[in-house]
Amino acid sequence: MPESAYDPEADERLGRAFDRRLAGRLVQAARPHRGLIGGSMLLFPVIALAELAQPWLLKVAIDDHILRSDWLGLTRVAGLYVAVLVVLYALRTVEAYLMHLTGQRVIHDLREAIFDHLLRLEARFFDRNPVGRLMTRVLHDVESVSEAFTSGLFAVVADVITLIGVVAVMLWIDWRLALVTFSIVPILLLVAVYFRLNARDAYREVRRRLARLNAFLQESLQGMAVVQLFVRERHERERFGRLNTDYRRALFGSTIWEASLYASVEALGSIALALLIWYGSERIVAESLTFGALVAFIQYTNRFFLPIRDLGAKYTVMQWAMASSERIFGLLDRTPEIVSPPTLRPRPTRPSPSALEFASVWFAYDGDEWVLRDCSFSVAPGERVAIVGTTGEGKTTCARLLNRSYDVRQGRVLVDGVDVREWELARLRRHVGIIFQDSVLFAGTVEENLRLGADGAVAPAELTRALETARAGFVADLPKGLGELLGERGANVSHGQRQLLAIARALVYNPAVLVLDEAMSSVDPESEALIRQAMAGLLAGRTSITIAHRLSTVRAADRILVLHRGRVHEEGTHADLVRRGGLYARLNELQTGAAPA
């Protein structure tokens, strides 16, 4: 499935109440749980029989025992009626349990499948699809699919079985009386269709308003610090109030249509009941119908109109389920653009450390807005290279191309002489480690974050050594040390401390190639000096690339590459580039205030 840009209307669409293709895929998703589904289906006719038996027992009680004053027989029938009720409620309990268990297991499998699929999608996909939208797929849409099994599809099948039984019994008891009841059905169908069409538009508006409210909430909560900084609380409160009011009004409109359908079915059912009593009473007087049969017909009529009365709720549930299913399967059908090649070439045996090469690389994030234009350079094994340049020149892009977060448009990126597209993806990312400027820490302990990329057991001594090398001594001062719990994105430690932990994590990860992308931009000068000393030992004998804006962090590099307009504009040592008086010298002058030599 081709990649498409984010569609803001995707979460607002309503589908049909039943789509055969999507229903087939839901059946496939539920196939591992066919035992539970089969058990539920077997209960439907048994429950329908128990439902149908109650009016029949009332007829028998009235005609054969009450009117004949047969109290002993009436007692037996009453006992049987109670037994049928007990069995019915027991079966309904089992049925509800099985349906909800099936729904929960299906959504458990779907959530795992979606999350596993998201883990395999490339970075470009996440650039174009907001996190809130993906959260909706994994949480809200999957819950809607669950409702299809519990309150939608299963409930409709059960209702259809019950309706067939009711119609058959009514025709068997007295077909003329049954036709009186069914005479109202054409009007009922017209009313139901009219209200459902209008209710669908109302629910679409509810969905649209809710999507806008959710989008505003996500943006406002994420930017709360900025809102408070610029004293925008009143403005945000007013915007939220308007959106919340719009949502309430839309919800009220849908409720009106839903209530109108319910009331209309109730009114038509009452009309059918009145006709039934009028015609049945005449038949009783003519002695062509028993009183018990009329009472049974009244009971069967109530059971006939009950599922029709609840049609609105089931229709809406199925609409949401079909729309959510389409979005879920649309996501699952999207093929990852960056995957391991089907056949892997044997990796050449090379001495450690690794060699890197960019050969005539062209790359753009969007269209033909090239970030890199015919960019070429190489890094020798064990060489420490720095990449500098102004904002937007493609420095971070080089790092992302090395581990195939993105693929080049033209040219090649080689690691150990092999195109990165021919590497197994997991092995490549174990081989090339990157520390980004905005380091992400996960909720959990410090130790769990340090062990994040470790394949096997890591001795506590290794963790301690990594923390010492990264100069992350603050961990020892935490109340629980390595066992200290970090908040979401490491919110309970400073930005600089998060960066130190990211450096320590990279040391534990121990890749053959290490890329530092502004890794020391958030630490104070004193810590920076200590980290540079530690890095000297860490990078010894290891191929490394340091990306930086602050030229003071790259002076010790073996070679400095200056990117300009998407290609290498200058290269050399710090001293050579300053003497040359080119772009690097001007950048150095701007940062240090020193005139070029």
Closest CA to 222 of 495, 488, 435, 437: 488
- What is the per-residue pLDDT for 589? 85
| Average pLDDT of the residues of the chain | 82
User: Burial code of 308-338, b = ≥16 C-beta within 10 A, e = fewer?
Assistant: bbbbbebbbbbbbbbbbbbbbbebbebeeeb
Q: Which residue, among 474, 11, 433, 430, has the nearest Cα to 208 in the 3D structure?
A: 11
What CA–CA distance (Å, rounded) separates 195 from 107? 31
DSSP labels, 419-446: EGGGS-HHHHHHHEEEE-SS----SEEH
Query: What type of residue sits at position 556?
Result: A
Q: Kindly write down the DSSP assignment for every residue of 116-128, as one continuous string.
A: HHHHHS-HHHHHH
Note the pLDDT of residue 312.
Answer: 61
- How does residue 1 score in pLDDT terms, banded at 50, 70 and 90? very low
Instruction: Report the C-alpha gap between 452 and 445 in whole angstroms.
Output: 11
**HSE, side-chain direction, 13 A CA sphere, residue 269:** 21
Are the beta carbons of 454 and 505 closer than 8 angstroms? no
Q: pLDDT band at 232, cuts 50/70/90?
A: confident
491-510 pLDDT per residue, tens: 777 777 887 888 888 888 88
- CB neighbour list of residue 320: distance below 8 Å, 6 or more residues apart: 14, 144, 147
Q: What is the pLDDT of residues 80-115, one digit of tens each?
A: 999 999 999 999 999 888 888 888 888 889 899 999
| Whether 596 contacts 588, CB under 8 Å | yes
Q: Which has more pLDDT, 513 or 527?
A: 513
- Asked which of 278-292, 374-388, 408-422 is least confident by mean pLDDT, the reply is 278-292
Distance CA 147, CA 357 (A): 53
- pLDDT of the residue at 379: 93
Give the span between the Cα atoms of 176 and 165, in whole angstroms: 17
- pLDDT tens readout for residues 560-583: 999 998 899 999 999 999 998 889
Cβ atoms of residues 359 and 412 within 8 Å? yes
The band of 351, judged by pLDDT with boundaries at 50, 70 and 90, is very low
State how far the Cα of 521 lies from the Cα of 550, in Å rounded to an integer: 8
Q: Which of 65, 101, 67 is nearest to 81 (CA)?
A: 65
Hey, what are 490's tokens?
């490491």
pLDDT in the model for residue 205: 77
The dihedrals phi and psi of 517, each to the nearest 5 degrees, come to -100, 95
H helix or E strand, kind and range, residue 250: helix 233-285
Quick one: average pLDDT of 198-222?
Answer: 76
Q: Which residues pair with 563 in a beta bridge?
A: 568
Residue 79 CB neighbours (<10 A): 10
Higher pLDDT, 334 or 527: 334
pLDDT class of 214 with cuts at 50, 70, 90? confident
Residue of higher predicted confidence among 337 and 223: 337
Is the link from the previous residue into 8 a cis peptide, with omega within 30 of 0?
A: no
570's tokens:
């200058």
The answer, yes or no, to whether residue 594 has pLDDT greater than 60, is no
Taken in order 54, 58, 60, 66, is the CA torsion positive or negative? positive
Residue whose entry in the numeric block shows the structure tokens 């240090």: 592
371 backbone dihedrals φ, ψ, rounded to 5°? -90, -45
**What are the angstrom distances between the C-alpha of 146 and each of 9, 13, 44, 140, 549?**
23, 19, 19, 10, 51
CA atoms within 13 A on the CB side of 28: 8
Question: 29-74: per-residue pLDDT in tens?
Answer: 888 888 888 888 888 899 989 988 989 998 888 888 888 888 888 8
Regarding beta strands 384-388 and 543-547, do their DSSP bridges make them parallel or antiparallel, or are they unpaired? parallel
Query: pTM for the whole thing?
Result: 0.78
Q: Which among 401, 436, 468 has a CA at the least distance from the CA of 122? A: 401
Torsion sign, CA atoms 183, 186, 192, 195: negative
User: Length of the chain in residues, anyone?
Assistant: 597
Whether residue 375 has pLDDT greater than 90? yes
Instruction: Please tell me the distance from the alpha carbon of residue 491 to that of residue 374, in angstroms, as a whole number.
Output: 41
Write out the DSSP string of 568-579. EEEEE-HHHHHH
The tokens describing 475, both together, are: 């961990």
Distance, in Å, from the CA atom of 309 to the CA atom of 42, rounded to the nearest integer, reads 25
- Cα–Cα distance, 590 to 575 (Å, whole number): 16
Q: What is the CA radius of gyration of the chain?
A: 35
Tokens of 55: 């009016």
| Cα–Cα nearest to 331, from 134, 130, 144 | 134
In sign, the C-alpha dihedral spanning 224, 228, 233, 236 is: negative
Residue 415 in this model has a pLDDT that exceeds 80 = yes
Residues near 452 by beta carbon (within 8 Å), at least 6 away in sequence: 442, 505, 509
Of 287, 41, 61, whose CA–CA distance to 149 is shortest?
A: 41
Q: 414 has which bridge partners?
A: 357, 419
- The two tokens of residue 325 are 């299913």
pLDDT of residue 563: 92
Give 196's contacts (C-beta < 8 A, 6+ positions apart). 261, 311, 312, 315
